[in-house]
Amino acid sequence: MCLLVKGWKSGASWSFPRGKKNKDEEDHACAIREVLEETGCNIAKLLKMDDYIEVVIGQQRVRLYIITGVKEDTVFAPQTKKEISEISWHRIEELQATGDDVISRGTNGLKLYMVAPFLISLKAWIAERQLPKTQKPDTSSKGASVWKAKNSSSGGTATTETSTSRHGSENQLADSRPGSSFRNFRFDAALILKSMEAAFSAS
């Protein structure tokens, strides 16, 4: 599984978290900063300086750091506004692009940006290290969304939606509403009838 982010504008592509280096910024420092800004995940303690893939696209050198050990229950949320509209886990085998173009379509129909040039090397890197298999989120061919902005193409202020926060707020609301304990009360008809029968028998 790998984590991809989707751009903000309508029709945006999916890509690895990415960005340009600031002046005098080291490659790994740029990667840590961009991942934090686009996903809210701090990979500073997970990034290994030698775990990366590098390709040349046009005349530009592009480096992809490979981060392992990210927990499945990690809460993702962009730290910047109107830049990322969705964050989702995707199966690597389902990201196979139909071409080698920088912007391409995956076999699952997703529009991908800067993914295809890394796929062959990424799969080889994983196979070489034989990473232990762990239980992964149940995903469809479109991926498992872990964060999504509402009305991302409308230009309005984004509001987030996550399954954990949504369910948690509903449970809290149900427990705190006035009279909730009374609404949850149920008569045990069988027990009442049995008690009445015993009372009449005694009399």
Give the end-to-end CA distance of the chain in Å, rounded to a whole number.
73
What pLDDT sits at residue 130?
76
What's the pLDDT score for residue 185? 44
Backbone angles phi, psi at 38, to 5 degrees: -90, -20
Q: Determine the Cα–Cα distance for residues 139 and 167; give it in Å rounded to an integer.
A: 20
Per-residue pLDDT at 85: 96
Residue in the structure block whose two tokens are 């050198």? 61
* 148-165 pLDDT per residue, tens: 987 655 343 344 444 333
pLDDT of residue 93: 82
pLDDT of residue 72: 79
pLDDT of 111: 87
Mark the ranges of the chain whose per-residue pLDDT is less than 70.
Answer: 98, 107, 131-143, 151-203
Say if pTM beats, i.e. exceeds, 0.75: no
In this predicted structure, what is the pLDDT of residue 171?
A: 40
